[in-house]
Amino acid sequence: MHTSAVDVDWLNNSADRIEQILAKMSLPARIDGGDIGEESVCFHLIPMDGLQRELVVQAARAIAQAVGVTEVQVSVQSEGLIIDVPYKHDRSMRLLPLMGALDRLEPLTAVVGMSDHGRPLLLDLKLQECWHLWIEGPEGCGKSELLRTLLVSLALGSRASQLKLLGIDVGGNELGIIEALPHALTRLASNARRAFEMIRWLENEVERRLRRGILQPAIILAVDDMAWMDLRPSSELAGSFRRLLTQAYRAGVHVLAASRSVRNPHIRRTLISNGRTRVASMTQGDEASGTFEFRGARGKRRRARIAWLSAADLQIAVARAQARASLGAHATPSLNKEIVQ
């Protein structure tokens, strides 16, 4: 491979991870070079004897998750397979190096990425006007990636005694990172029934906290793709989620949600108009740069590129969170930064 324009470590790690994920799926194959384009790398994959190539094509989503991108294209050629992996990330925008430059963060402060002014953009969930976040945009734009970035940065900057995490990811595994963090309250809700139970439990927990005046530890409910709610038109479910959004700020509970759209008009209205939800929006054409616009209070808007996490960085982040679960994180960041308000 010609590597002058590409991070060699990224190339080697990506090739290793493709081979590893396929081996775990009993689809043994090896990378044999590739071609580098302006926005992607085409890895040449040689299936081992007896392997049906169509099975590798069906594993495209697992391959994408392994190398830390939204999607990959797998195509069959006479001599093997081609795995086309997007290479659009700014190497300086990885989350862990950015957090290292920031030193340590105040608890409940999430790192978004870099603002269009060239400063790190942070999301302080302790601010009432930034209590919840709704991430919207077209399919494949990076909503789940942004959500993971926020959750990992929160976990690295807060002790498990200060922050607890809950996750809903119906039909997917984009938020599987939560289960590996010491901040997790329970396993990820991966089906609608379990998601409904989690929302009802959290609604009851908010009521209990309000009765007893409890605010700590903070609880964050992360929801990836809220489309499943539209498939369950239960007024009980919608009512529980709406009450959760409107009462959560009084009980130290936050909701970070991502979805292409929310068709339920009552939930959508509650998300946007409660005065405590910031919206991060990506429009068609922003995918290449990974740029979201954060709509702040009083009409303020900030654009930022996401600080991304590769599969290798996710493993490092989990190890760090587990090692530092009992340590504080109270220092002020050393770089000039912007806070979403």
If one compares 320 and 68, the residue with the highest pLDDT of the two is 320
Q: What is the arithmetic mean of pLDDT over 16-28?
A: 84
Instruction: Spell out the residues 6+ positions from residue 109 whose beta carbon is closer than 8 angstroms to its own.
Output: 122, 123, 124, 125, 126, 153, 154, 157
Q: What mean pLDDT do residues 309-315 have?
A: 83
Q: Does pLDDT of 295 surpass 80? A: no
Q: What is the CA radius of gyration of the chain?
A: 21
CATH superfamily assigned to domain 91-339: P-loop containing nucleotide triphosphate hydrolases (3.40.50.300)
* Residues ≥6 apart with Cβ < 8 Å to 2: 36
Q: What is the DSSP letter of 329?
A: -
pTM over 0.75: no
Burial of 176 (0-12, 13-18, 19+ CB in 10 A): middle
- Region of 26 (left: φ > 0; alpha: ψ -120 to 50; beta: rest) is left
CA 99 – CA 156 distance, rounded (Å): 9
* The pLDDT of residue 164 is above 90: yes
Between 240 and 188, the higher pLDDT residue: 188
Tell me which of 266 and 92 has the higher pLDDT. Answer: 266
Higher pLDDT, 107 or 282: 107
Report whether 308 contacts 68 (CB < 8 A): yes
For residue 197, give both structure tokens: 């139970």
Average pLDDT over residues 2-28: 71
Q: By percentage, how much of the chain surpasses pLDDT 90? A: 10
For residues 56 and 74, give the distance between their C-alpha atoms in angstroms, rounded to a whole number. 8
What is the average pLDDT across 39-65?
79
Residue 167: predicted pLDDT: 92
pLDDT band at 248 (very low <50, low <70, confident <90, very high): confident
Residue 293's pLDDT is 79
186 has a pLDDT exceeding 80: yes
User: Domain coordinates of the chain in residue numbers?
Assistant: 8-86, 91-339
**pLDDT in the model for residue 9:** 59
- Name which residue leads in pLDDT, 296 or 193: 193
Distance CA 92, CA 300 (A): 26
Question: Stretch 315-320: mean pLDDT, rounded?
Answer: 86
Give the sheet arrangement for strand 40-47, strand by strand: 29-36, 40-47, 80-86, 73-77
Task: Classify 21 as helix, strand or coil.
Answer: helix
**235-247 helix and 265-273 helix, angle to the nearest 10 degrees:** 0
- Fold designation for 8-86: Threonyl-tRNA Synthetase; Chain A, domain 2 (3.30.980)
pLDDT reported for residue 225: 78
Residue 330 clears pLDDT 70, i.e. is over it: no
* Percent of the chain predicted with pLDDT > 70: 77
Give the Cα separation of 154 and 98 in Å (integer). Answer: 14
Lowest mean pLDDT among 110-114, 172-176, 294-298: 294-298
Quick one: pLDDT at residue 286? 61
- As a whole number, mean pLDDT of residues 15-19 equals 84
Q: Which residue has the tokens 């996401």?
A: 306
What pLDDT, in 10s, does the model give residues 60-73? 888 887 777 778 88
How high is the pLDDT of residue 25? 84
Query: Residue 150 pLDDT > 70, yes or no?
Result: yes
11: helix, strand or coil? helix
**What is d(CA 307, CA 45) in angstroms, rounded to the nearest whole number?**
29
Distance, CA of 181 to CA of 282 (rounded, Å): 28
Q: Which two tokens stand for residue 1?
A: 């491979």
Task: Check residues 205 and 236 and name the one with the higher pLDDT.
Answer: 205
Q: Which segments within the chain are labelled E, that is strand?
A: 29-36, 40-47, 73-77, 80-86, 109-115, 120-124, 132-136, 163-168, 218-224, 253-259, 277-281, 291-295, 301-306, 338-339
Taking each helix axis as running N to C, give the angle between helix 311-323 and helix 60-67, from 0 to 180 degrees, rounded to the nearest 10.
60
Residue 336 has pLDDT above 60, yes or no: no
User: Does residue 289 register a pLDDT over 70?
Assistant: no
pLDDT at residue number 64: 83
Angle at 256 between CA 200 and CA 189, to 5 degrees: 45
Phi and psi based region of residue 142 (left: phi greater than 0; alpha: psi -120 to 50; beta: remaining)? left
Q: Choose between 237 and 318: higher pLDDT.
A: 318
pLDDT at 269 over 50: yes
pLDDT digits (tens, 9 = 90+) for 70-111: 788 888 776 678 888 886 545 457 888 888 877 677 888 888
Residue 180's SS3 state is helix
Question: Mean pLDDT across the chain, nearest whole number?
Answer: 78
Whether 271 shows a pLDDT value over 70: the answer reads no
* Tokens representing residue 254 in the block: 């936050």
